Amino acid sequence: MIVLPYLDHVPQVGTNVTTDDWVTIIGRAYVGSGCRFGKLATLRADGHDIRIGSDCWFGEASTVHIADNMYGTRVGAHVTVGRFGLVHACTIGDNCVLGEHAVVMDNSVVGPGAVIAAESVVPPGKQLDGGWLYAGTPARPVEEISPARVAELHESIRNESMIDNVEFIRVRTPVGANRIVPGTGIDSADAEGAYIAPTAGIAGKLEMAPGSSVWFAVEMDAEGATVELGEASNIQDNSRLYLTAGEKLRIGRRVTVGHNVRMHACDIEDETIIGMGSTIGKGTVVRKGAVVAAGSVTAPGTVVEAGMIWAGQPASRSKPLSEQNRAFFSKGVDVYIGYAAKYRAARNTADKIAS
């Protein structure tokens, strides 16, 4: 377990907390007793606080994050989050289950004993009652679910057991974490103001422009291929980039690639947003100022129109991006430039102390 202070904040971790390799807990994080974190799980409480109750379980490559200076994250007791799950600036009640690749977004509240199905997305600001199974993008109520059934789902995820009718908490095509050893290739951050987090793993050629950043537990599996990351662009925690030899993934300037994204060889133009938990198919082109919504999947060869939001599985045209949201997303890019500067300064200070 890697426990990192952020500015003046040091994580507080309770007793009997167990972890697999390369788990990172950062900043204003409070972790209750008896919790367990799988390989590459990341808790980033840098811009706000995260509070995790007792006896919680987080699968490999799961992520807990905040909204900078806006919303913290609260997770109740006995909560289970499946592999690649994302809990972002929200409140999760006691005894909830989040399936693999599920996403819960900013300022949402999930009531006690609720189940969020695999690859489902709870949009910002939603209030979900406890005791229900929710599924889809956006997540909608499917059926009431009994405490006994919820207990079976906790057991299934935590022990990787296959009981009847649990397909809605597992993804159809599992993606493994840690194909590239964390820490590999992190010296690629040679551009001015660029930053690569210490648990990222990079194979292949990464060309970073000034102010760009690659965050915790990102994995770039691109041996013999090239990734271009434009000025002030960021790839957030636990995202996965998969390329084969000879391919190229180009990311323009001031682009945000959200947490837990899966990307293949594609072309992402300037000032775009790739939403949390989305999957970008090979040959996708995302035009300038466009958005792929959280949890969406672009089919191979998709062209996402400039200035438009595309959503769904598979993604299709939804609506134009408003000027208000465009300004909000631009501020998010600036937040990540600030994060990179602070983390880089902290690393330099630690290096000086060590020497």
Two tokens, residue 284: 């996708």
Q: Specify whether 276 is located in the same domain as 201.
A: yes
- Which SS3 state, helix, strand or coil, does residue 51 take? strand
Q: What is the pLDDT of residue 347?
A: 76
Give the integer Cα–Cα distance in Å for 296 and 293: 6
Q: What is the pLDDT of residue 351?
A: 47
The verdict on residue 117 lying in a domain is: yes
The verdict on residue 135 lying in a domain is: yes
Q: Any idea which residue has 């060309």 for tokens?
A: 207
The verdict on residue 291 lying in a domain is: yes
Give the integer Cα–Cα distance in Å for 236 and 257: 6
The verdict on residue 272 lying in a domain is: yes
Q: Specify whether 211 is located in the same domain as 295.
A: yes
Q: Residue 226's domain is classified under what CATH number? A: 2.160.10.10
What is the per-residue pLDDT across 19-55, written as a single tens digit (0 to 9) for each? Answer: 999 999 999 999 999 999 999 999 999 999 999 999 9
- DSSP per-residue string spanning 229-248: E-TT-EE-TT-EEE--TT-E
Based on the structure, what is the number of domains in the chain? Answer: 2
Q: Specify whether 192 is located in the same domain as 333.
A: yes
Of all helices (H) and strands (E), which one includes residue 154? helix 147-159
Of residues 353 and 163, which shows the higher confidence score? 163
Phi, psi of 332 (to 5 degrees): -60, -35
In sequence order, what are the residues at sequence separation of 6 or more whose Cβ sits closer than 8 angstroms to the Cβ of residue 51? 30, 72, 73, 74, 75
Q: Specify whether 209 is located in the same domain as 99.
A: no
The yes-or-no verdict on residue 176 having pLDDT over 70 is no
What is the per-residue pLDDT across 281-297, written as a single tens digit (0 to 9) for each? Answer: 999 999 999 999 999 99
Two tokens, residue 81: 């989050």
Q: Which of 116, 142, 169 is the last residue of a domain?
A: 169
Average pLDDT for residues 142-159, to the nearest whole number? Answer: 94
Two tokens, residue 96: 């909830």
Give the integer Cα–Cα distance in Å for 97 and 112: 9
Q: What is the pLDDT of residue 352?
A: 42
The verdict on residue 27 lying in a domain is: yes
287-294 LR contacts (CB < 8 Å, sep 24+): 288/252, 289/321, 289/326, 290/321, 291/321, 291/325, 291/329, 293/137, 293/318, 294/103, 294/105, 294/121, 294/123, 294/137, 294/258
The yes-or-no verdict on residue 173 having pLDDT over 60 is no
The yes-or-no verdict on residue 355 having pLDDT over 50 is no
Q: Strands 248-251 and 273-274: what pairing? A: unpaired
The verdict on residue 352 lying in a domain is: no
Q: Specify whether 334 is located in the same domain as 248.
A: yes
Q: Specify whether 314 is located in the same domain as 197.
A: yes
Q: What is the pLDDT of residue 12?
A: 97
The verdict on residue 234 lying in a domain is: yes
Q: What is the pLDDT of residue 346?
A: 86
Contact 42, 63 (CB under 8 A): yes
CA 353, 198, 105 angle in degrees (round to 5)?
Answer: 125
Domain span at residue 197? Answer: 186-345
Can the peptide bond before residue 182 be classed as cis, meaning omega within 30 degrees of 0? no
The verdict on residue 145 lying in a domain is: yes
The yes-or-no verdict on residue 96 having pLDDT over 60 is yes
Q: What is the pLDDT of residue 175?
A: 56
